[in-house]
Amino acid sequence: MIRSHNQLQIESNSSTMSDLVFLLLIFFMITSTLISPNAVKLLLPESSSRTMAKQNVTVYIDENNAFNVNGTPAAVGDLETLIAAGIEPGITDACVVLRADKTVPVQYVVNVIDAVNSINERNSVKHKVILATSPKQ
């Protein structure tokens, strides 16, 4: 009896599929790092100074003079409560970073400073406000 040595084997090569998945993973990792972490788009005032500080709380004031504390919309009366809630208990020298659009009137900036000063007086702490700027062109 003569037997054929040619047998039909059905296999699928998965190496091309794993290459495709790996390339997609790299693509999404690269594009996700390009997303800006700032929640509010602002035109910050320009400065040549380079002060860096650890951010405990971030307060945004957009071009419509709307306040935003750590991603939560806020009214002027709520600033003190939201800023105090954003600072971890036990920290006595927190940095409140103020990111105000350069078209915002100074009174709105003073409102944030007053809220932090009120927290400082009430709790006998030394929190400070740092105005965020963009590098000078």
pLDDT digit string, tens, across residues 24-79 = 988 888 877 666 555 556 566 666 666 566 668 999 999 899 999 988 899 999 99
Contacts of 100 (CB under 8 A, 6+ apart): 42, 44, 45, 60, 61, 108, 109, 131, 132
- In a domain, residue 86? The reply is yes
With respect to residue 56, please indicate whether it lies within any of the assigned structural domains: yes
Specify if 88 maps to a domain.
Answer: yes
Q: How would you list the strands of the sheet with 67-69, edge to edge? A: 72-74, 67-69, 57-61, 95-100, 128-131
Q: Is residue 131 part of a domain?
A: yes
Three-class DSSP category at 99: strand
Higher pLDDT, 47 or 96: 96
130 belongs to a structural domain: yes
**Residue at 26 is within a domain:** no
Domain-embedded: residue 5: no
Q: In whole numbers, what is the pLDDT of the chain averaged over residues?
A: 81
Tally the domains of the chain: 1
pTM recorded for the entire structure: 0.62
Residue 36 lies in a domain: no
- Domain, as residue range, for 115: 46-135
Cβ-based neighbours of 47, under 8 Å, separated by 6 or more: 133, 134, 135, 136
